[in-house]
Amino acid sequence: MSHLDWICPLLAIDADAFNHGGTLEFAVISTVALRYNQNNQILSTTPNQFEPMHRREANGGIDACPWCQGFYAAMRLRISAWAPLLDASNVNHGLLLPILLHGRDDQGHPLLGPPRTGRVTEGSPRNAYLDIAVAVEALRQYWMPIRYARAR
């Protein structure tokens, strides 16, 4: 999949903007593509150094929701390919949990349903962002054999 196939829809920018350097749209596409390539380089060479760019709250806390929403938006471009991982009975479903925990559907509802209550889940949602970097690398490892088999 070309960068433009997902960057442009994700940012609601016409792909033709990539052909017109010097515009705001071109700058945005270039910035996203650069960050994407940096992430790929890190994940390929030193995956333990990958860190998602989460927003900081005024109190210094981490807000992983925007990053997870962006990840989910990119997933939705090829949701049928992601369907097996969205199936809770699939052994690999857990790879998405740290991301899905912070995601919302089109109506603003949590992707995993209403928050559960109880002693076991206390603190879990608050700290789930800590597992996102590891989940991204695990997802990369999951997709690698599939991507390279398709390219042959």
Domain that holds residue 139: 52-152
82 and 116 assigned to the same domain: yes
| Residue 64: both structure tokens together | 């992983």
Residues 63 and 45 in one domain: no
- Cα separation, 96 vs 85, whole angstroms: 7
Rounded (10°) angle between helices 3-11 and 65-76: 120
| 43 and 66 co-located in one domain | no
Contacts of 17 (CB under 8 A, 6+ apart): 8, 23, 25, 26, 29
For the whole model, what pTM was predicted?
A: 0.78
CA-to-CA distance for 140 and 50, rounded, in angstroms? 12
Q: What is the pLDDT along the chain (152 residues), one digit of tens a residue?
A: 676 677 777 677 787 887 878 888 888 888 888 988 998 899 999 999 999 988 899 998 888 888 898 889 889 888 999 999 999 999 999 999 999 998 888 888 888 887 766 655 555 566 788 899 999 999 999 998 877 665 55
